[in-house]
Amino acid sequence: TGTGAQKDRVLTVEEWLQKWETGATAFHKEQGHPLLQKHLDLLLNGRSGLRIFFPLCGKAVDMKWLADMGHSVVGVDVSEQALKEFFADQSLPYSEESVPGISGAKKLQSTSGNICLYCCSIYDLSSAVVGEFDGVWDRGALVAVNPCDRQRYVNLMISLMAKNSSYLLVTVLYDPNKHKGPPFYVPESEVKSLFG
């Protein structure tokens, strides 16, 4: 069946929020991600001062790591708790404002201005709201969105990418009949058909 066992699986926003509330966040790494460090050159491609997007960012420590290098980081997550914990964990002061045009959304921005995190559904974002990006670090995002939303997710990501942007994607390999996910199994063939 390949990914058949997973294709109808749907997690609600409430289930993701509950993971943060109960600390069931084994996907969060306290240290920077080794694959990002290893392949950073692919993302930056010799460029400095990039705008880098973290879809479904949680409280990824890599956001501060890249911001400290002089890049501008934008993240999005449904969990306000995760975003606030990021600023607290990193001892970064921030301000909070509403987002014009997205009901209930909040924008949390570091006082230094180089980290801007949106609390809303990723599908509420558009280039009109967040602009375009030179780089995307997709670690645990494509593999976390509901399988039925994958193409919608990828179409959004493509619409947020500037001309010469780099997209660094982490997926997971396992037998999808033995685990229900997330993270979901997205084989390379599907990555190619999704992104073209």
What are the pLDDT digits (tens) for 21-48? 999 999 999 999 999 999 999 999 999 9
Domains in the chain, number: 1
What are the pLDDT digits (tens) for 162-176? 999 999 999 999 999
Q: Stretch 80-88: mean pLDDT, rounded?
A: 98
Domain presence at residue 1? no
- What per-residue confidence (pLDDT) applies to 178? 93
Domain presence at residue 7? no
Q: Stretch 10-29: mean pLDDT, rounded?
A: 95
The count of other CB atoms within 10 Å of the CB of residue 33 is 18
Domain presence at residue 57? yes
What are the pLDDT digits (tens) for 132-190? 999 999 999 999 999 999 999 999 999 999 999 999 999 999 999 999 999 999 999 99
Domain presence at residue 108? yes
Domain presence at residue 26? no
Q: What CATH number has the domain bearing residue 106? A: 3.40.50.150
Domain presence at residue 78? yes
- Say yes or no to pLDDT of 92 above 70: yes
In this structure, are residues 39 and 45 in contact, taking their beta carbons and an 8 Å threshold? no
Residue 81, helix vs strand vs coil: helix
Beta strands 115-119 and 106-110: pairing type?
Answer: antiparallel
Confidence grade of residue 1 (pLDDT, cut at 50, 70, 90):
very low
Confidence grade of residue 3 (pLDDT, cut at 50, 70, 90):
low
Domain presence at residue 2? no
Domain presence at residue 73? yes
The count of other CB atoms within 10 Å of the CB of residue 58 is 26
- What per-residue confidence (pLDDT) applies to 5? 79
The maximal CA–CA distance of the chain, rounded, in angstroms, is 50
Q: Which residues constitute the domain of residue 76?
A: 13-21+35-195
- What per-residue confidence (pLDDT) applies to 29? 93
